[in-house]
Amino acid sequence: MANQNLPKSVQSRLQPFIDKGIQNGIFQDAKPVVALYRRKAKELKDTVTELGGMKNSNAQRFVANCVLTDLSAMLRQKSFVAHLDVWSVDSRMTRTGRAMANVFGQAIIEDGDSVMDSALFKMSLWDEDASLADDLVGGLTYSASISCKNLDTEILDLRPLSGMTVFTEEEYEHGDRSQLLRDTYDITPIAELENDISRNRNDYRLVEATVSYAGVQQSKTGNSFGKMLLKDDSTMTLEAIESGEGLMLNALCDTDTANRFGKYSEVLALVTTSMSDQYGLSATIECAVGLVVIAPPKVETPKSGDDAEDNASDYFNTNVETIDLDDEDEGSDDEGSETKTEDATVAKSDDEGWTDGNDEEWDDDWD
C-alpha cells in the first residue's frame, strides 16, 4: 500500500528499504523514513529551491537519493533494541562550533530473542545527532534502536542509527548502579593513581571518595564545566599529611554532577587520569554515583524592606565566634589546591573526556 506522505516516484524507490528496515526491527512502519525525507528536504532547502522546489521531480529525486544514502548505510549495520538507564547527559559546542553531546549510563541489549546482562554504556552524539540529547533526562529510562560495534567491551560504545534513532521513555527495571560499577572495575586508592595513569580516554579508574568541594566554573570559550575535589582513606592519613603530598584529587566533570553533590557526599567516581609537570595529577569524571548524598547549599535570596528580619538585639551581641585552627588549615589547603588548578582546568575543559569525532571514527562501514 502506497504511503500518501511520500510522492509516488519516491515511494516506489524507498519502499524496498522501508520493508527491509521493518524486517530487521529498525523501525515499525514507514513514519521514520517519511520524517527523514522531510528533514532532508528542509536541511537542503537551498538546493531544493534551485531544483524547482519539492513539487519538482528533480528535487524529489535528489532528496530521495540523500535518504537512500543514509538508509543503505544503516541497513548494513547490525541494530539492537537497547533499554537505557541514563545517568548523565552533557551537551556543548566545541571550539570549532560543532554540536556534541555525551550520554552515559547502563543498558540492557536485546538481540533477537536473547537479552544481555546489564552493562555500562556511553554514546557520543555529533552535529545533527547531538539534538537527540535534548529529549534525554538523567535519571530516566528509555528504549531505542541503536548499533554497537562490539558487545564484549566493559563499556558499550552505542551509536545512533543515521536519522532513525528515537528515544522513547519507558518503565524498565535496571540493576543497582553502584554494584554495576563495582562489578566492572576494581576500586583504586587515590594515592595510587599517580603510578597508574590512564593510557587513553577509555582507560578508566574507579575511586570511592568523599567530596571536599564541588562547583561550576566558566571556560574562556563560554562553556560551563564542573569541578570536584575528592579525598579518600589513602589521602587522609597522618603519613600523607606529614609528607606534604597532595591530599586530594582535582577532577573535571559535567555541570549536573557538580551541582548534584555537596561537600561530604560519598561517591563512586569513574575517572580517567592524567599527569602534567606543572599541575601534577588530575582527572576527568565520566560518571559519579552517590553512596551518601549531601545536597549542595541553596543560594538564599537577600531580604529587604519590611520582609527583612532585623533584630535590634543583634547590634548588641557581644558573643565572638571562635575559630577552629584545624578547620582553617584544611580550608586553606582546599583553597590552595583549587587556585592552583583553576587555570589548568579552564584550559583543559572544552574537549577533555570527549571523543574527537573524526571521520574515521564515525565510518558507517566500521571495518
pLDDT score, position 244: 64
CA dist., res. 333 & res. 13, Å (int): 68
pLDDT at 293: 95
Closest by CA position to 266, among listed 298, 239, 290: 290
C-beta of residue 122 within 8 angstroms of C-beta of residue 153 = no
Strand 155-160 relative to strand 119-126: parallel, antiparallel, unpaired? parallel
Please tell me the predicted confidence (pLDDT) of residue 285: 95
Domain with CATH 2.40.50.140 in the chain: 79-175, 179-299+323-348
pLDDT of residue 127: 87
CATH homologous superfamily for the domain 79-175: Nucleic acid-binding proteins (2.40.50.140)
Whole-model pTM: value is 0.66
- Residue 6 and residue 40 in contact, taking contact as beta carbons nearer than 8 Å: no
Residue pair 205/194 in contact by the 8 Å Cβ criterion = no
pLDDT at position 4, please? 56
> Hey, what's the cell of 138?
538523567
CATH architecture of 179-299+323-348: Beta Barrel (2.40)
β pairing state of 249-253 and 266-276: unpaired
Instruction: Enter the DSSP assignment of 29.
Output: S
Q: Give residue 121's pLDDT.
A: 97
C-alpha cell at 177: 548502579
- Return the C-alpha cell found at 202: 577509555
What's the confidence (pLDDT) of residue 113?
A: 77
**pLDDT, mean of each 10-residue run, the chain (367 residues):** 71 86 75 85 90 91 89 77 94 86 95 88 90 90 90 92 82 95 96 92 95 88 86 86 76 92 96 89 94 82 50 42 39 41 42 42 36
Three-state secondary structure along 117-182?
Answer: CCEEEEEEEEHHHHHHHHHCCCCCEEEEEEEECCCCCCEEEEEECCCCCCCEECCCCCCCHHHHHH
Q: What is the pLDDT of residue 302?
A: 53
